[in-house]
Structure 1
Amino acid sequence: MSDPRKELWHKRKQLGRSKYLILFGLLPWGIGLTIVTSVIEIISFRELNPVWIPIRLLVFFFIGFFVANARWHAMETRYEPYVRRP
């Protein structure tokens, strides 16, 4: 891993896993994709069905959690050799 990426990961790791999952998984994926799909629904159907909003939030929060969790573990495996290096 190059030095800028190592430093960036070091800063993000200091947030802690829970905060990382919220900031880089749940919020951008959950809220972001809910807004995007709602806008697409408004453009396509000229109306917004409010029943789908909590369902989208729930589904996209789960997706965001799994994506951020996978990224956390991937960066941990990349970062670990630099931590163990004397």
Structure 2
Amino acid sequence: MTKNFNTYIESPAVDYLRNLCLREGVLRHYDRYVDLHCKTAQQRYNDLISKHPDLFSLFPLKDIASFLNITQTHLSRLRKNI
């Protein structure tokens, strides 16, 4: 069993898939970092709502505010302005 498992792990297809997943994860984290440091709270909010319009029915405001890296009060102001 161990020999078959090692052969599977060293397979070029598995290696390719592992690298693809790693690259996608790194790119996702990089995009999140850039968004948090280069976009305004309003831009982050607008992007989030455009991608996930039903978000407020799925998660509490405190979690959405935390994801946007803003306070709940600021999130309420942003929602009020739209």
More helix by share: 1
Higher relative contact order (Cα pairs below 8 Å, separated by 6+ residues): 1
- TM-score between the two structures when normalised by the length of structure 1: 0.37
Which of the two has higher C-alpha Rg?
A: 2
- TM-score, normalised by the number of residues in structure 2: 0.38
